[in-house]
Amino acid sequence: MTLDLRQVGSSLRVDDARSGLRSGQEVWATEAGGEPIQIAWEWTEIQPDVVALFDPMNILCNVALIDGEGHTLARSKRMLHLNNIVHQLSWRECIDRLKSRHRIGSPAQASQ
């Protein structure tokens, strides 16, 4: 199912006018059996053009993850699986394209 996930939303904001560092949110989605599946997370630039998950323990998903016996996964295991899914997606490349369309030329422009 990870291969079917596609970017459906993205946001970008400048967090610090001096450094020009940005952050944002990604939303990816697919369908399974006619039902929507969505996953969302926040990201941050830790230095120019280097992005990371803002909070790896705060990935949102609208479906329950279950184990082989049909039990809902504990939050820690759920986050581990969601992190693995996020890291399999090409979200960083999508952010690179978004950032290049919203390139800030200088810190002074960031505050405008």
Position 111 confidence tier, pLDDT thresholds 50, 70, 90: very low
Contact 15, 31 (CB under 8 A): no
- pLDDT tens, position by position, 42-92: 999 999 889 999 999 999 999 999 999 999 999 999 999 999 999 999 999
Task: Give the 3-state DSSP-derived string for 64-82, with helices as H, strands as E and coil as C.
Answer: CCECCCCCECCHHHHHHHH
Which of 99, 86, 76 has its CA nearest to residue 41? 86
Q: Please check the confidence at residue 109 and state whether its pLDDT lies above 60.
A: no
Q: Indicate the DSSP class of residue 3.
A: G
Give this prediction's pTM: 0.82
Q: Mean pLDDT across the chain, nearest whole number?
A: 87
